[in-house]
């Protein structure tokens, strides 16, 4: 009988695997170092370990859900396929020109994001489609044959085709794609009318090029992973997490892998939302810190917000416009280069810095004994006693504390501080970097961080949550069981989801309502088919209609949730009311008394997978909650303090403990400062309350 669901999350430092037993509510977990040269190797090693240790048969696994940062890293590191661009004659340089907008007006040397396609691989096709979809100039097929010869000689592996106004009429793009595929059958082709059928040529081109850049990598990786799982006789469907927080099948990702750029962080946000529901929380700051990056997401209500555009590979992390614009649906969150592997150093001004460069999995922090020589945040956490060497990462890593201390002493000599003080400085600096990012993100939403509960996940999240929460004025932290692999478990909670968009420009007062309703129904039918192909019941999928709306004369639009259809002329007032509500929420003022138009239509279909977070399922074996003591550093004390170390699995529901304390489990460690109090809730989550006068 199929009783297990498997979640696999590949991060920059660790690969996490969770096997969920639906019958007994058990989570079988494994966290091992990522293998950058062959990411599937770490996945398969972890899978083999879990199956062997628990004597589980491969045929008992009903589905496998996967998220990875592989494609995002390929964009950031410029390690994708050799990619070319074919565009309308006269638009060869639009990809590089962008919007001619500097993200920093006062920096004369500000770097623009590097294009993924060099100019010599950008080609022009003789063709022209007008804004209304009519053909002004037929496609020059003879010219395509010449371009194909150049592509072959240049050893191009992937081609993005982006023609002007193809969102209104895609016939030229499809004809060009078919013609080149016939001439070059081994080349990967991405059409903008498939990837991002929306207005704005630059953003559409940027998204399509990014898709083409990672498409061969996605194809090869998914094929290899599927084959290697098959060798282990794991024949369960392989589903992939999308940036929007939904699942889809392999075929959809092979077509449009750009949808997976934020898949791992999205899974963490879903896990935090589920934890919040279990605890009855309305306002959550999801905080997921791993070995390479930290992710922050605001959740007001039951689900995280969705953004319909974001930027990848930014030159400056917080500078809008410094990255590659990507038009996909994605969970709205921020990422910063703050993780356990973030490298600490003294800069030219004598100031302590940590990150954004990371030691990653290879060579990793000094403590891992894998060749790392530069001190990292994880090394500082070991030196402070926050992390314990015994049983770290479930015993998968043998920790070298002597090498850690030596690396920190070298940094201390540069700074003129003691090794103890420099270790706390690294920990505190990273906390401040993350808290600053959270303040900006929360302020942009017009909200107060003190109204939120911090949900800490990731291998390093619980270690840093206590003092980061203090900096934000947050008084309660929730840390789930198996927090270190929460993102992998979040994969198993995700619904199947499909987002589809289409251009449809019309003023509401001049709307062809039957045409609009027909366009929505066409999008819904296409999305429903993807749900069915994913293995879910398309008839039970929940449908949400949306539209990109603006006042006539405005340059940009808002994505608005609309009431359900079918739409007729009587729907006008309801759509206007939905727009007014969205406008008020975004700009804190009602829209001007100007006619309103729709620019594009969207649909979102979701189908639940039938997995929910399990209860506590505590072991009946009674164990002592406290497993010992060790020296731990806390600020505003007399240095290192003998501190109680607790076994996370032995804490009983409702019993209240006082800090200072360290609570350990195989995948993560929760640090509680002096004056803090903690207990296990009925849902099995660790609840930490900070004192009102915490210093």
User: Rounded to a whole number, what is the largest CA-CA distance in the chain?
Assistant: 80
CA 578 to chain centre: 29
Token match 């003022």: residue? 589
Statement: residue 304 has pLDDT above 80: yes
With H, G, I as helix, E, B as strand and everything else as coil, classify residue 208.
helix
Helices 70-77 and 201-231 cross at an angle (nearest 10°) of 130
The neighbouring-strand residues paired with 626 are 646
Regarding predicted confidence, which is higher, 306 or 623? 306
Statement: residue 196 has pLDDT above 80: yes
pLDDT digits (tens, 9 = 90+) for 154-175: 999 999 999 999 999 999 999 9
SS3 string of 61-74? EEEEEEEECHHHHH
Tell me the C-alpha distance between 14 and 67, whole Å. Answer: 13
With H, G, I as helix, E, B as strand and everything else as coil, classify residue 231.
helix
pLDDT digits (tens, 9 = 90+) for 640-676: 899 999 999 899 998 999 989 999 998 899 999 999 9
By DSSP bridging, strand 342-346 and strand 330-331 are unpaired
List helix spans (H) across 307-452. 377-383, 401-415, 419-444
Token match 């699942």: residue? 247
Q: Which helix (H) or strand (E) holds 498?
A: strand 496-507
pLDDT value at residue 321: 80
Statement: residue 334 has pLDDT above 90: no
What are the backbone angles phi and psi of residue 203, rounded to the nearest 5°? -65, -40
pLDDT value at residue 106: 85
Question: Is residue 667 within 8 Å of 31, Cβ to Cβ?
Answer: yes
What are the backbone angles phi and psi of residue 663, rounded to the nearest 5°? -110, 120
Single out the residue of 622, 644, 624, 620 nearest to residue 632, CA to CA.
644
Burial 59-79 (b: 16+ CB within 10 A, else e): eebebbbbbbbbbbbbbeeee
Tell me the C-alpha distance between 484 and 535, whole Å. Answer: 29
Most confident range (mean pLDDT) of 8-12, 276-280, 354-358 is 276-280
With H, G, I as helix, E, B as strand and everything else as coil, classify residue 275.
helix
pLDDT value at residue 118: 94
pLDDT category of residue 616 using cuts at 50, 70 and 90: very low
Most confident range (mean pLDDT) of 122-136, 310-324, 626-640 is 122-136
By DSSP bridging, strand 294-300 and strand 128-129 are unpaired
Q: How many CA atoms lie within 13 A of 459 on its CB side?
A: 30
What does the pLDDT average to over 399-424?
91
pLDDT value at residue 318: 66
pLDDT category of residue 615 using cuts at 50, 70 and 90: very low
The neighbouring-strand residues paired with 478 are 455, 687
pLDDT digits (tens, 9 = 90+) for 92-151: 999 988 887 778 888 888 888 889 999 999 999 999 999 999 999 999 998 999 999 999
pLDDT digits (tens, 9 = 90+) for 564-600: 989 999 999 999 999 999 999 888 899 999 999 999 9
pLDDT category of residue 494 using cuts at 50, 70 and 90: confident
pLDDT value at residue 104: 82
pLDDT digits (tens, 9 = 90+) for 206-243: 999 999 999 999 999 999 899 999 998 998 889 999 99
pLDDT value at residue 76: 80
Question: Is residue 517 within 8 Å of 547, Cβ to Cβ?
Answer: no
pLDDT category of residue 621 using cuts at 50, 70 and 90: low
Neighbours of 620 (CB within 10 A): 4
With H, G, I as helix, E, B as strand and everything else as coil, classify residue 457.
strand
pLDDT digits (tens, 9 = 90+) for 423-467: 999 999 999 999 998 998 898 888 899 999 999 999 899 999 999
Statement: residue 631 has pLDDT above 70: yes
What does the pLDDT average to over 608-620?
55
Residue 57, class by beta-carbon neighbours within 10 Å (0-12 exposed, 13-18 middle, 19+ buried)? exposed
As a whole number, the mean pLDDT across the chain is 90
Tell me the C-alpha distance between 148 and 126, whole Å. Answer: 14
pLDDT value at residue 55: 86
pLDDT digits (tens, 9 = 90+) for 9-68: 988 888 889 998 887 878 888 888 888 888 889 899 989 988 888 888 888 898 899 998
By DSSP bridging, strand 61-68 and strand 4-10 are parallel
Single out the residue of 480, 418, 484 nearest to residue 633, CA to CA.
418
């Amino acid at each position: 009988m199929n009783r297990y669901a498997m979640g696999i999350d590949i991060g920059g430092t660790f690969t996490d695997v969770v096997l969920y037993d639906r019958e007994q509510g058990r989570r079988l977990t494994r966290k091992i170092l990522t293998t950058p040269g062959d990411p599937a190797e770490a996945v398969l090693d972890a899978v083999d370990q879990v199956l062997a240790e628990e004597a589980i048969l491969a045929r008992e696994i009903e589905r496998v859900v996967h998220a990875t940062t592989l494609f995002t890293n390929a964009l950031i590191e410029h390690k994708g396929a050799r990619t070319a661009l074919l565009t309308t004659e006269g638009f060869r340089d639009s990809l590089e020109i962008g919007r001619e907008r500097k993200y920093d007006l006062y920096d004369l040397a500000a770097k623009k994001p590097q294009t993924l396609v060099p100019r010599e691989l950008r080609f022009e096709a003789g063709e022209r489609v007008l804004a209304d979809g009519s053909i002004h100039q037929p496609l020059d097929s003879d010219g395509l044959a010449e371009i194909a010869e150049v592509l072959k000689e240049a050893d191009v592996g992937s081609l993005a085709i982006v023609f002007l106004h193809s969102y209104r009429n895609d016939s030229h793009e499809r004809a060009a794609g078919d013609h080149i595929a016939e001439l070059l059958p081994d080349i990967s082709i991405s059409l903008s009318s498939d990837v991002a059928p929306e207005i704005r040529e630059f953003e559409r081109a940027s998204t399509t090029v990014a898709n083409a850049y990672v498409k061969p990598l996605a194809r090869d990786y998914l094929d290899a992973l599927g084959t290697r799982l098959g060798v282990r006789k794991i024949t369960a469907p392989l589903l992939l997490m999308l940036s929007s927080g939904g699942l889809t099948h392999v075929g959809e990702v092979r077509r449009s892998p750009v949808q997976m750029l934020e898949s791992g962080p999205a899974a963490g946000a879903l896990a935090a939302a589920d934890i919040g529901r279990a605890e009855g929380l309305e306002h959550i700051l999801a905080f997921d810190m791993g070995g390479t990056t930290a992710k922050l997401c605001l959740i007001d209500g039951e689900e995280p917000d969705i953004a319909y555009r974001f930027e990848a590979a930014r030159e400056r992390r917080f500078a809008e416009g410094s990255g590659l614009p990507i038009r996909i649906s994605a969970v709205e969150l921020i990422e910063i280069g703050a993780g356990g592997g973030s490298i600490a150093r003294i800069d030219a001004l004598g100031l302590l810095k940590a990150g954004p460069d990371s030691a990653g999995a290879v060579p990793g922090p000094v403590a891992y004994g894998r060749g790392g020589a530069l001190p990292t945040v994880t090394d500082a956490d070991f030196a402070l006693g926050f992390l314990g060497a015994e049983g770290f990462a479930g015993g998968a890593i043998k920790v070298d504390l002597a090498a850690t201390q030596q690396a920190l002493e070298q940094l201390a000599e540069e700074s003129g501080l003691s090794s103890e003080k420099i270790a706390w400085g690294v920990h505190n600096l990273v906390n401040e970097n993350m808290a600053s990012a959270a303040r900006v993100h929360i302020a942009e939403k017009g909200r107060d961080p003190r109204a939120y509960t911090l949900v800490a996940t990731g291998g390093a999240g619980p270690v840093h949550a206590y003092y980061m929460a203090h900096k934000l004025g947050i008084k309660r932290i929730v840390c789930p069981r198996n927090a270190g692999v929460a993102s992998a478990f979040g994969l198993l909670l995700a619904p199947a989801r499909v987002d589809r968009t289409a251009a449809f420009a019309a003023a509401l007062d001049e709307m062809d309502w039957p045409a609009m309703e027909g366009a929505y129904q066409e999008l819904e039918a296409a999305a429903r088919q993807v749900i069915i192909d994913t293995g879910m019941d398309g008839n039970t999928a929940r449908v949400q209609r949306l539209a990109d709306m603006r006042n006539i004369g405005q340059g940009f639009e808002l994505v608005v949730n609309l009431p359900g259809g079918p739409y007729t002329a009587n729907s006008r007032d309801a759509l206007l009311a939905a727009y007014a509500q969205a406008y008020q929420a975004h700009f804190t003022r009602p829209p001007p008394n100007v006619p309103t138009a729709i620019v594009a239509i969207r649909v979102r279909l979701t189908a639940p997978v039938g997995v929910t977070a399990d209860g506590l399922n505590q072991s009946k074996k009674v164990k002592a909650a406290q497993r010992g003591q060790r020296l731990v550093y806390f600020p505003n004390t007399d240095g290192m303090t003998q501190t109680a170390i607790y076994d996370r699995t032995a804490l009983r529901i409702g019993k209240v403990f006082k800090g200072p304390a360290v609570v350990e489990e195989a995948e993560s460690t929760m640090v509680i400062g002096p004056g803090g109090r903690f207990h296990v809730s009925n849902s099995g989550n660790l609840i930490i309350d900070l004192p009102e006068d915490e210093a």
